[in-house]
Amino acid sequence: MNRELFEYLLSQPESDTLDFKSEFYDFSGDTEKAKEAKESKFIKDIISFANTKRDKSSYIIIGIKENETTKEKELIGVTTYPDDASLQEKIKDKVYPVPEFLYYPYTYKNQQFGIIEIFIPKYAEEPYYPKKDYLGGLLKSELYFR
């Protein structure tokens, strides 16, 4: 990520290759079932971007609040920084094949943002699917895409 690309993405509306989130995915929960339901939102977003036909990386930018009516973006930044390895762990045993993505922090105008970059599949012989049904509505039998 560089300043030019970040500013370009900020100037774009949400699309098949771009999503803005005001805060990071909440993986907390009192029980394993509650955690699974919350993780399923993250898994679904990664699968959806990975399955969407495209010729460039897709991005989920965290720390951007978008006004639903005007589509103006407010840069709110993030204060917590998950580890890329822990995010990879949430996907690797739950999705087949495993989509390639990377999480990294990015600083812009003295604020921190989280970037999830979902790469173009190297070998797109088959779509990405959840390995089982998950609480939160993620179903093994469904194909997810943007």
So what's the pLDDT on residue 25? 85
User: Residue 123 pLDDT more than 70?
Assistant: no
More confident residue, 48 or 69: 48
So what's the pLDDT on residue 61? 97
Tell me the torsion sign for CA atoms 137, 69, 56, 86.
Answer: negative
User: Residue 22 pLDDT more than 70?
Assistant: yes
Burial annotation 126-142 (CB, 10 A radius, 16+ → b, else e): eebbbeeebebebeeee
Q: Which of 41, 30, 10 is nearest to 138 (CA)?
A: 41
Q: Which of 91, 87, 4, 101 is nearest to 52 (CA)?
A: 101
CATH class of the structural domain 3-130: alpha beta
- The mean per-residue pLDDT over the stretch 11-25 comes to 93
Q: How confident is the model at residue 124 (pLDDT cuts 50, 70, 90)?
A: low
So what's the pLDDT on residue 76? 95
Of the CA atoms within 13 Å of residue 76, those in its CB half-sphere come to: 16
Report the mean per-residue pLDDT for the chain.
89
Number of C-beta neighbours around residue 45 at 10 A: 20
Q: What is the dihedral of CA 66, 67, 70, 75, to 10 degrees?
A: -50
